[in-house]
Structure 1
Amino acid sequence: MSQNSESKMEKIKAAAELQGELRRVIADQLTGRMDWVRARTYWGLRLPATSTDELAEALAHVLAGGSFRQEINSRNQNFL
């Protein structure tokens, strides 16, 4: 493999890892697994280095996917 292809692969891997991290944090906030103090600290450190395209993709994926809604519903069922 050429050095150029290895560099591209590293960039793709880093972008996928970032998307996973952003999606996890967004879902954790929406489901209450992350409190506002930790969220504020995380976003204060992460946002300056995150492009709006990356953030928009993560938000759209989590909010449209409904995975957090399923967790909220399952939590509510425990109280019924």
Structure 2
Amino acid sequence: MQREITNVPVVRTPIRLGQFLKLANLVQDGVEAKIRIQHGEVQVNGMKETRRGRQLAMNDVVEVNGLACRVSLQQE
């Protein structure tokens, strides 16, 4: 079964992983983002990511707790 991926529009890339988690409502705040990333609960493009400052580009897919969001460009 294929997982549903939600597109999350951003104004520009790159965007840092911690910022994107908040923007996508995958976490409530920066503290939660930091903890989840440090504990290895976040995946980027299917790989565990432990760097909060990881730079995300267009079409990167971020996953937390079975929820997946794709970085997309905000339409003007």
**TM-score, normalization by structure 2:** 0.30
Larger fraction in strand: 2
Larger fraction in helix: 1
**TM-score, normalization by structure 1:** 0.29
Larger Rg belongs to: 1
